[in-house]
Chains A and B, each alone.
Chain A
Amino acid sequence: MMTPYTLVDWVLGDGAGWIARFIGAVLVWAVPITGFVSFVGLLSIWLERKISAHIQCRLGPMEVGYHGALQTVADGVKLLAKEDLVPADADRFLFAFAPILAFAGTVVGFAVVPFGPGLIVADLDIGIFYLAAVGSLEAIGVIAAGWASNNKWSLFGSVRAATQVVSYEIPMGLAFVTIAALAGTLSMSGIVDQQQGWIANWFLFRNPFTWIAFIIYYIAALAECKRAPFDLPEAESELVSGFHTEYSGMRFAIFFLAEYAQMYVVSAVAVVLFLGGWYSGIAPLDAAVGTGVAGKLVGAGIIVTKSFLLVCVQMWLRWTLPRIRLDQMLYLCMKILMPFGMLTLVGSTMWEYYFPTPEIAKVGGGWTGNTVMTGVVVAIIGTLSLIVYVRSVIRSTPSLRAASNP
């Protein structure tokens, strides 16, 4: 049996009774997690505004705080002070309950998201399974919100959300299973532990199929967060504001916070599953910081940074891609992601069977076949990106364009 691997155990020691553990969990976890969720919300809303602004040649918020850093706080105060409106014919109970359900559905995801070695609320043996289960709880809140609002746009939005859940859950599950098959465990910290060592040990580089699994997971995660190009449930240009059309003030703020917290959760899960979790990918560095307090802090910094990078990629995607239609969404999930997910699962397990990763590479990290393959894949991806980038530069610069096709 694995040693208990949570901060509460670390603080209280092994002998504590369940009441002490409960109180300890509340104090050590519930309060900081809620604080962290708010922090994630503030930071990512600011990031979103800045990234969207710069992509669109704007400046974004500039007045409140340094480059508008406190704008979100000011907006939060404004939302708090707003009138609490409930539409006349709304289902009052459900209307008030839906934001809480959505928010809770997101926050429970944080239970298995590690913040560093041992910094995990509950290191469940079935961590990924739990995530797949509660990940869709938010959708229930969204559906309830649309139904309770008694507004056709809201209802359309929530029906779309329901459709979306059915379609993205399956590819996402397949991506989970691919990694679980490689790691041989469903526990989050167990999965991270296997990616110790050099960057080549990250599951992303374990075999060629995990690349596909990562992309599939990321697309499905975008859909789970209801982010563009999958923001069908809120589709401003079609459904006013979708499921939260009737929401204002603090209830709207809670939906908003839930969306951004969800973005962090899915990004952190991607980091855990594919990008080495709290390991930096540089074996000597990880060995140097150890697993003490310093190791925990450095690990937390690494995993939060990686997750925020992925959150930024989500925003970058949002401000690049247009929203797709519902049928295109279903087509993508059912006819593209699902077959490829199955291919990935089969291919990756076959690869592991025929080219098993040597034990030494698994724990210590050495220059193995993985490293070579990683280099090749990185080189291919890098070259392709460079080509695409250079082409886009040439196309968007009139003088170069004229020179390249006379």
Chain B
Amino acid sequence: MSLGAYLNSIGTSAKTIVAGMALTFRYLIRPSEIVTIQYGSKNNAPKERYVPDRHRGIHILETEKCIHCHICEKACPVDCITMDGTRDAPFDGAWKGDGCFISSFTLDLNKCIFCNLCCEPCPKECIHMGMEFDAAAYTRAHGVKNLLTDAPYSEADRVREAEARQLIEAAEAEAKRRKDEARKAAAAAKAQATPAAAPAAPGAPAAPKPPGLPPPPGAVVPKPIASPTPGMPKPPGAAMPPPPAPPATAGPAMPPPPKPMPPMPKPPTN
């Protein structure tokens, strides 16, 4: 090695060491460069900072857009969504959806695999995977989430939903009675007009309506779904609206002291 190359190598190393130390010094004195997030600490950063846009966290339901169509419930591969409600008539303590009245919408996070399959087919795009990932709970029961209140499913929810079931049945029976009457009246009117065609009733709209299938009058007709199985996932992150505020509709008027109910872990489904 010639003397020039020798001195050159020394110069190069000195220069590179100084350059490297300048770089590390810059990081050393710049706290804004720190990327550590102290999970669970009081200095915790907002979740938006460290959860990616397309994160599939705990679900968020936009109750006022939901049409109670049960499609998400059917799409779920592990059956962790349960819901109850009616489209026929309002009842006490119902959450107001889009043309429907919902008494229960729960999601069992113990079972959920966060697959997004419930969100994709929703015709109203009102159920979303949220940003929240912190699903830890002390008991399994606490792992069930009430999407209407955004709170863990509670005993009070269970009692209220059982009561609501009776209200729903009453409301549906009432609606059915009214509809029958209306139909009879219509048939009678028709018979008066054209007596020959009197027994046309069997072809009329089915009297006992399974809740959920045909839209009630005045409700928005759900878009037909091309394929109920998930097709190509649409980019969920882009369309993600901000998490809705807790339902502003009248909360459940707390029912009178609950009658003893059979311990039902899940609300009945239709």
Interface positions of A (Cβ within 8 A of B): 51, 53-59, 62, 316-317, 319-321, 336, 384-385, 388-389, 391-393, 396
Contacts and interface: CB of A to CB of B under 8 A. Distances in A.
A316 B28 contact: yes
Interface string B23-36: 11111110101111
Interface of B: 10, 15, 17-29, 31, 33-36, 38, 41
B35 A320 contact: no
A321 B21 CA distance: 8
8 contacts: A54-B31, A56-B27, A59-B38, A336-B10, A389-B22, A389-B26, A392-B23, A396-B23
Contacts of A51: 28
B36 A392 contact: no
A307 B29 CA distance: 20
Nearest to B27: A55
A317 B21 contact: yes
B41 A320 contact: no
Contacts of B27: 54-57
Contacts of B29: 54
A321 B35 contact: no
A308 to B, nearest CB: 15
Contacts of A317: 21
Which of B15, B23, B28, B41 has the most A CB atoms < 10 Å from its CB? B28
Given A54-B27, A320-B24, A59 B34 contact: yes
A385 B17 CA distance: 11
A215 B19 CA distance: 17
A56 B26 CA distance: 11
Contact of B18 (A56, A58, A59, A388): A388
Given A316-B24, A388-B15, 16 more contacts: A55-B27, A55-B28, A57-B27, A57-B34, A58-B34, A59-B38, A62-B41, A317-B21, A320-B17, A320-B21, A320-B23, A384-B18, A388-B18, A389-B22, A391-B19, A393-B26
A56 B35 CA distance: 9
Nearest to B43: A62
B24 A392 contact: no
Contacts of B19: 388, 391-392
A401 B31 CA distance: 23
B18 A316 contact: no
A53 B30 CA distance: 12
Contacts of A384: 18
Nearest to A332: B13
Nearest to A393: B26
A59 B26 contact: no
B24 A62 contact: no
B54 to A, nearest CB: 25
In the A-B complex, list the 3 residue pairs whose CB atoms are closest, starting with the nearest.
A59-B36, A320-B24, A389-B22
A320 B20 contact: yes
B249 to A, nearest CB: 43
A321 B36 contact: no
B17 A321 contact: yes
Contacts of A53: 36
Nearest to A58: B36
Contact of A62 (B10, B17, B35, B38): B38
A154 to B, nearest CB: 31
Contact of A55 (B18, B24, B38): B24
A390 B33 CA distance: 18
A319 B21 CA distance: 9
A59 B45 CA distance: 14
Nearest to B15: A388
Contacts of B10: 336
A384 B21 CA distance: 13
Contacts of A392: 19, 22-23, 26
A171 to B, nearest CB: 14
A316 B28 CA distance: 9
Given A54-B34, A62-B41, A316 B26 contact: no
B33 to A, nearest CB: 5
A216 B31 CA distance: 33
Contacts of A385: 18, 22
A53 B27 CA distance: 10
A316 B21 contact: yes
Given A316-B21, A388-B18, A57 B33 contact: yes
